[in-house]
Amino acid sequence: MELTIREPDLEEHLAGARLLRSCLGFSERDAVPAWLMHATAEAGGLALGAFAADGTLVGWSFAVAARSEGRDELLSCGLAVACPHRSEGIGRALKLAQRSAALERGVERIRWTADPLAAPALRLYLSHLGARLTGYRAGLYDPIRDGHPEGQPDGLRLPQDDVEVVWDLRESERTRVGTDPPVRVELPFRRADLSPPEHLDWRLSVRDRLRRVLAEGRIGVGVDLDATARRCWLVLAVDGPGA
Ligand SMILES: CC(C)(COP(=O)(O)OP(=O)(O)OC[C@H]1O[C@@H](n2cnc3c(N)ncnc32)[C@H](O)[C@@H]1OP(=O)(O)O)[C@@H](O)C(=O)NCCC(=O)NCCS
């Protein structure tokens, strides 16, 4: 598909906010407002839209300016690609455009958090961009996020766990992985196919396994995919001197 990635104009933030909300399954309460994305983008953040040839918005990415360990960073707060256009490389194109814009500003690290069960997102981040999964935050947003799937306000509430993802934009700074054999943790292939109790089971079992493997000094470096068998695994390797 012919694609243009660019910073959106003021009104396009509305479509971006809608796409983000629907792709992330956020309730109205949890949605990121269009005005906030515009205001923070003007103050050192970055909103990017991916537009099809006819001008339709098919992807969106949003990050705010941040600072940690004495360095300017971007804190990415949302990436979304419209359902019919997933797995076409649009997410990757948006993240690479984010990387280019960051480097132009002298920013060399982007961080964000992600749902540990979001296999396609983790495959993009870890296997294709070279970002690293470095931490597990159980119930990070439990006190403040709705947690009910959209349209099911009385359904089973899912714990709002996130994993921490760090993307060092300069290859030379990227964490090298050691030579110990990697460990694999299975993830659900398609979250949308899970019943609420199945979703909760996956949440708790991946939480338990992942926390133990991370505590051994490993970090997430990729997602293996067997599309025929409809299975996928998070790959964790020892964080150490280059192999
Ligand atoms: C995450 C998201 C933005 C990725 O966008 P995208 O345009 O589909 O991404 P890409 O096509 O660049 O890469 C996706 C990768 O995941 C793979 N993938 C697809 N389904 C998968 C699955 N069930 N399990 C593991 N990997 C999967 C794709 O095959 C592709 O990898 P490949 O290039 O090796 O084939 C999109 O899936 C989305 O909007 N999801 C809902 C919102 C979300 O989870 N956002 C991230 C919040 S942190």
* 81, 129, 187: residue to mutate for ligand 1 pocket, most atoms within 8 A of CB: 81
Instruction: Please check the confidence at residue 7 and state whether its pLDDT lies above 90.
Output: yes
120-159 pLDDT per residue, tens: 999 999 999 999 999 999 999 998 888 765 555 566 788 9
- Taking the domain 3-174, which CATH number applies? 3.40.630.30
pLDDT value of position 168: 96
Cβ pair 114, 122 in contact under 8 A? yes
94: nearest Cα among 84, 106, 102, 104: 102
14: nearest Cα among 30, 43, 37: 37
Could you state, in order of their start, the residue ranges of all structural domains in the chain? 3-174
Question: To the nearest whole number, what is the mean pLDDT of the chain?
Answer: 93
184-214 pLDDT per residue, tens: 999 999 998 999 899 999 999 999 999 999 9
Q: Which atom of ligand 1 is nearest to the CA of 127?
A: 34
With bands split at pLDDT 50, 70 and 90, how would you rate the model's confidence at 241? low
pLDDT value of position 243: 42
Measured CA to CA, the distance from residue 122 to residue 99 in angstroms comes to: 17
Q: Which atom of ligand 1 is nearest to the CA of 190?
A: 23
151-182 pLDDT per residue, tens: 555 667 889 999 999 999 987 656 667 778 89
Residue nearest (by alpha carbon) to ligand 1 atom 16: 120
